[in-house]
Amino acid sequence: MARNFRTSLVLQVHSSSQSRAADARAIAELGCSGFDLMLRAGRFAFGCLLAEWPAARTVSVLAGKGNNAGDGYVIAALARELGLDARVIQVGPAPDRGDALHAVEFARQRAVPVEPFEAAATRFGDVIVDALLGTEPLATGDLVLTEVLQGFRDDREVEQARRLLTSLDVVALGGHEIAIQAARYFRALRERGVTTRKTIDTVIATRCIVDGYSLLYSDREFDPFVEHLGLRSAMAEG
C-alpha cells in the first residue's frame, strides 16, 4: 500500500555543522562518495518538490558556487529528465571544483540551461529552488514587495508574485534610525564621487548593512555600498 508522503515523512532538521559531520561519517564508514550523497540529497529534494507541487511544469534553481549549488544542479537535471522545463539561474561564479563541479557536469549532460542571475531576475516559473544560501533564511523588504507588485498588470500574476514573496520573511526596511543612517551613507558615497540615483536603493543597502544581511541583487547601483560601506553581497558568497 502506498503511503501518503506528507503524513508519513518525519524530518529532523540538522544544523550545517551536524550535516557536514553526517556527510563525513557516511563517506568514512559507509563508503559513499561525496557526489553520491549529493545525488541522494538532490533526489530526495526533488521528490519533496513533486509531492508539494505536482502540477508544476517549470522549475528555476537559484545556485551559488558551493555544495548547496551542486544539490541544485542535480535537482534541475532530474526535473529535466522528467520532462519539466527546468533551468539553473547562476548567481555569481558557478561551481568549479569538487562534488559540485561533478553536479554541474551531471546537469550539462542532461542539457539543463544555465542563465546568469542578471539576465533572469524577472522570470522564475512555477517553483523556485533555493540552492544558493543553504541554511541561511531568505527575506525580502516591504518596499521591495511594493515595487515588484506594482509592476504587474495581470491580477493573477500579481497574486502569484504576492504568494511567492510573502512566503519569505518580509523585513521593514525604513524607520527613524535607518532614515538617518541612509542619509549618512548617501553623503559618504557622494564625498567619494558616487551618487546613488534611487533613495530606495540607499534604504535597502542601509538596512542590510545595519542588520548584517547579505543582499542578492542584479542592479550595479549597490556595488559602491559593497566596495566602500561594507554591504555583504550574496553574489560573492557560496
Model confidence over 169-193: pLDDT tens digits? 899 999 999 999 999 999 999 999 9
Over 70: is that where the pLDDT of 236 sits? no
Is residue 125 domain-shared with residue 194, that is, in the same domain?
no
Q: Does residue 132 carry a pLDDT above 90?
A: no
Task: Confirm whether 93 is domain-assigned.
Answer: yes
221-235 average pLDDT score: 91
Residue 48: give its domain's CATH number. 3.40.50.10260
Does any domain span residue 1?
no
105 and 185 within one domain: no
Task: Tell me what the mean pLDDT of segment 196-202 comes to.
Answer: 92
Categorize the per-residue pLDDT at 207 as very low, low, confident or very high, splitting at 50, 70 and 90.
Answer: very high
DSSP element (H, E) containing 54: none
Helix or strand (DSSP H, E) at 85: strand 85-90
Q: What pLDDT sits at residue 46?
A: 95
Of 135, 162, 193, the residue at which a domain comes to its end is 135
- Residue 83 is assigned to a structural domain of this protein: yes
Three cell numbers at 238? 557560496
Enclosing domain of residue 184 = 173-236
Domain count, the chain: 2
> Looking at residue 10, what is its pLDDT?
47
Q: Which CATH number characterizes residue 219's domain?
A: 3.40.50.1010
Is 163 a domain residue? Answer: no
| Dist CA 93 CA 63 (whole Å) | 9
**Same-domain pairing of 64 and 120:** yes
Residue 121's pLDDT band, with cuts at 50, 70 and 90, is low
Statement to judge: residues 102 and 45 lie in one domain: yes
Residues 126 and 194 in one domain: no
Residue 204 maps to a domain: yes
Of the residues 135, 165, 184, which one is the last residue of a structural domain? 135
Task: For residues 131 and 110, give the distance between their C-alpha atoms in angstroms, rounded to a whole number.
Answer: 18
Asked whether residue 133 carries a pLDDT value surpassing 80, the answer given is no
Q: Which three cell numbers, joined as nine digits, stand for 236?
A: 560573492
User: Does residue 219 lie in a domain region?
Assistant: yes
% of the chain surpassing 70 pLDDT: 87
Answer yes or no: pTM beyond 0.85: no
Q: What is the C-alpha separation between 78 and 88, in angstroms, rounded?
A: 12
The pLDDT score that the predictor gives to residue 14 is 62
The reply to whether 102 falls in a domain is yes
Residues 99 and 155: their CA atoms lie apart, in Å, by 43
